[in-house]
Amino acid sequence: MPVETDFLASLNSSQRQAVQHFCGPLLVVAGAGSGKTRALTYRIAHLILNHNVNPETILAVTFTNKAAKEMKERIELIFAQRLAQEKEGQRLELLPEHQQLKLRSRAYKDITKHLWIGTFHSLFARILRYEINKYQDLKGYQWTKNFTIYDESDAQNLVKNIVTKQLNLDDKKFNPRYLRYSIGNAKNQGLYPEDVASQQPTYRGRVVSEVYQEYQLQLAANNALDFDDLILIPARLFSQNESVLGYWHQQFRHILVDEYQDTNRIQYQLINLLATNGETDKNCLNWENRSIFVVGDADQSIYSFRMADFTILLEFQQDFGDGLPDDDTRTMVKLEENYRSRENILEVANTLIENNSERIDKVLKPTRGYGEDIYCYKAENEIEEAQFVRNQILNLKRENPELDWGSFAILYRTNAQSRGLEEALRADIPYHIVGGLKFYDRKEIKDALAYLRLLTNPNDTVSLLRIINTPRRGIGQKTLDQLIGASQELGIPLWEIISDETSVNTLAGRAAKAVKQFANLIKSYQAHVNQLTAAEILDGILSESRYREDLQNQGTEEAENRLENLKELESAMMQFAEENEDSSLESFLANAALASDLDNLNEGEEKVSLMTLHAAKGLEFPIVFMVGVEQGLFPNHRAIDDPASLEEERRLCYVGITRAQEQLFLSYAQERRLWGSREPAIPSQFLQELPQDLINHSSPPINPRRQQKSHSTTSKKTNPSPQNWQVGDRVFHDTFGEGKVTHVLGSGNKTNLAIQFPGVGRKIIDPKIATLQPL
């Protein structure tokens, strides 16, 4: 049967070109809201179905774990759908639920389980678990496959210790955070400590180099890697070992990279090596049964501060492609049709971004008509601004019953701005803050993980030091200094000292008893690592260490919360064991360091979303408020004098604008409280760069009735298409996927549709509000 039609009928011609791409290089320049995730998922399915590509040979790199998970799910659904048609002659959603589940799990076992989909870090951490013993370090350092992954705070602790304890430098002059950042930068450019010193022959440069060198030694001593190493070490291993590279080059015949504009030089090097097997002459590459397919948008590159380099995307055509002009090239396709936003929103976004110089020419083409006015509100101060947002939300919600709290997002440049907004909303609007504190960053979770890491990797001194006196057991700084001193003199891990009774008795003085007790606790669980499940171990440790008891005794609400979080960690462990058919502690820990949040478990609750503009990338909302659009705040004062940074701020603004589907509100305050004092503020230069005829500077009406046609009937730029919906129409909804119209409710401007979405259920949807693509 023609599988083709299933996939391709709903796509426009550029999307189709991307999805049908088989061998060789292809750059997909995908504007905001242009359906790039569909292009990616459909192409993967297409490779498997129409070109008989083995799923194990597909490597797809995503920007976040969440994106990876979503992609896997969407591919799984495609295959489950196909199984339903093939075996039952029915659409998946029409089958009984148990049948649906059965087909989905079949699709998982046959297909998605075998795909290599994940972030750079998770994919290459996985590869390192196989290969790290083959890595030859310049300094002769060694890691073993049960290495621990240090997060940012672990890494910073390490740096701080090196600065203050080892090198006896003034940590005010050499801020550990600055140093850690410098080391990260060096690693992301593939530099060794020596390179830093020679590149930067100043005192400062020499210090960075020295700290970097010591830092790397300590990581090795702890059998630990930081996030940067997860990319850097594979890249070095691939460069130094032909047979290892050859193996993985053979393995990954089809490489896909999402958010390509946010890759850095090392990530690029890694992808390049895998795709070319180290062949540097472009003309000698053999693309038979092999491809590299990257998707990105230089206009949405907003992470240069962490070494992302969008010129990598701009150079794709030279590196891999045919390098022909845009009209003739066969190695680049642009997705410019935007299915998300109203035409006036897109026009504003397009106009703004044209002020940037370094880009690929690209215009977002509207597929939807004009929407409500874009208001730009001048507030007296940040309090009044927050009130404005609150009132608008309440008003819009009241006037438009189809909107729920989840339809609104408030975007700001800096986290500090969230507070005032929260205060304004708290009383009568449910909201949640996206981003912010991550589950695995919480103190209690980090403590628990430190206990667990110690069991599988006793060399992990950072974790050991974290919990040796948590909860308080009377092991203080003086005792630790003694123990650490001994371990350094003998050149052995701290654990070896602590686990040896004789040494402890000699060194620890009156804390000896406590140290021995602690060591015995760890030892007793180390003995059980392979017999007990991860959750059982955690539960036991929390009790026997009295960690739980300690929290219970505090009796504060905060302590209660921490206990709740620990419970949640336990259930996450059990869930992980179920999903991965492996309940071992090692396997859980290998993933935990790379997992970011469990918070998306609570989705489904309808709440207004508050987040930074950075956190909003990839998301969309019917109504978007962009607040604090002031010179010095947005663009940030640190970016104003540097043209490249200013362009990045402008891209950030572009990202913010293009999050809005229906309506956009901009606002700025004339006076803002900053660190105590009130400072006058002036409107952002970006506001002047917007097409003024599309910006309404007056206050929105008190009861803004949303008359959908207000503009579309009067404007000559109208994009018509008030679609005549009929029962039986098939549609695609960005959130719910494919569905079928079962009822048409009302008529004219008040038409609502009842749509049955497989696996989701029936939803009543206003086609004026939701992004519905007819299929």
Active site residues: 36-37, 258-259, 300, 659
Comparison of 93 and 648: residue with beta carbon closer to DNA: 648
Which position among 96, 401, 676, 728 is part of the footprint of DNA (CB under 7 A)?
676
381's CB contacts (< 8 A; 6+ apart) are 669, 670, 671, 672, 673, 678
Closest separation in Å from C-beta 266 to DNA: 12
Q: Does 432 bind DNA (CB under 7 A)?
A: no
Which range in 73-81, 115-123, 192-200, 355-363 contacts DNA by CB under 7 A? 115-123
Closest separation in Å from C-beta 238 to DNA: 19
How far is it, in rounded angstroms, from Cα 571 to Cα 57?
Answer: 33
Q: Does 185 bind DNA (CB under 7 A)?
A: no
Q: Does 426 bind DNA (CB under 7 A)?
A: no
Which position among 398, 528, 567, 638 is part of the footprint of DNA (CB under 7 A)?
638
Closest separation in Å from C-beta 37 to DNA: 16
For residue 219, CA distances in Å to 11, 148, 628 come to 49, 9, 42
Which residues are bridge partners to 672 per DSSP?
679
User: Hey, which residues between 347 and 376 contact DNA (CB under 7 A)?
Assistant: none
Q: How many residues bind DNA (CB under 7 A)?
A: 50
The mark string for 63-82 relative to DNA (x by CB under 7 A, - otherwise) is xxxx----------------
Which range in 364-372, 545-553, 661-669, 672-680 contacts DNA by CB under 7 A? 672-680
Closest CA to 377 of 708, 707, 695, 609: 695
Q: Does 555 bind DNA (CB under 7 A)?
A: no
Could you give the 3-state DSSP secondary structure of residue 670?
strand
Closest separation in Å from C-beta 306 to DNA: 4
494's CB contacts (< 8 A; 6+ apart) are 461, 464, 465, 483, 484, 487
**Biggest distance spanned by C-alpha atoms of the chain:** 89
Closest separation in Å from C-beta 178 to DNA: 8
Torsion, Cα of 626, 631, 636, 639 (10° steps): 130
Comparison of 45 and 448: residue with beta carbon closer to DNA: 448
Look-up: residue for tokens 């069991």? 455
Which position among 53, 197, 208, 511 is part of the footprint of DNA (CB under 7 A)?
511
Q: Does 381 bind DNA (CB under 7 A)?
A: no
Q: Does 306 bind DNA (CB under 7 A)?
A: yes
Which range in 201-209, 578-586, 606-614, 738-746 contacts DNA by CB under 7 A? 606-614
Which position among 645, 719, 751, 773 is part of the footprint of DNA (CB under 7 A)?
645
Comparison of 102 and 432: residue with beta carbon closer to DNA: 432
Q: ∠643-648-649 over CA atoms, to 5°? A: 95
Q: Does 648 bind DNA (CB under 7 A)?
A: yes
DSSP state of 364: P
Contact present, 134 and 245 (Cβ < 8 Å): no
Q: Does 395 bind DNA (CB under 7 A)?
A: no
Which position among 9, 101, 416, 527 is part of the footprint of DNA (CB under 7 A)?
416
Closest separation in Å from C-beta 487 to DNA: 17
Q: Does 119 bind DNA (CB under 7 A)?
A: yes
Which residues are bridge partners to 738 per DSSP?
732
Q: ∠294-298-304 over CA atoms, to 5°? A: 105
Closest separation in Å from C-beta 349 to DNA: 19
Closest CA to 625 of 609, 648, 605, 646: 609
Q: ∠268-273-277 over CA atoms, to 5°? A: 160
User: Hey, which residues between 586 and 605 contact DNA (CB under 7 A)?
Assistant: 594, 596-597
Q: Does 752 bind DNA (CB under 7 A)?
A: no
Q: Does 474 bind DNA (CB under 7 A)?
A: yes
Both tokens assigned to 726? 């009929």
DSSP state of 253: S
Comparison of 165 and 697: residue with beta carbon closer to DNA: 165
Which residues are bridge partners to 224 per DSSP?
148
For residue 146, CA distances in Å to 45, 496, 587, 707 come to 34, 18, 9, 61
Contact present, 686 and 635 (Cβ < 8 Å): yes
Which range in 25-33, 644-652, 696-704, 710-718 contacts DNA by CB under 7 A? 644-652
Buried b (16+ CB within 10 A) or exposed e, 542-569: beebebbebbeeeeeeeeeebbebbeeb
Comparison of 64 and 218: residue with beta carbon closer to DNA: 64
Binding site for DNA (CB under 7 A): 63-66, 119, 121-122, 151-152, 160, 172, 175, 177, 227, 302-303, 305-306, 413-416, 435, 438, 469, 472-479, 511, 594, 596-597, 611-612, 614-615, 636, 638-639, 645, 648-649, 673, 675-676
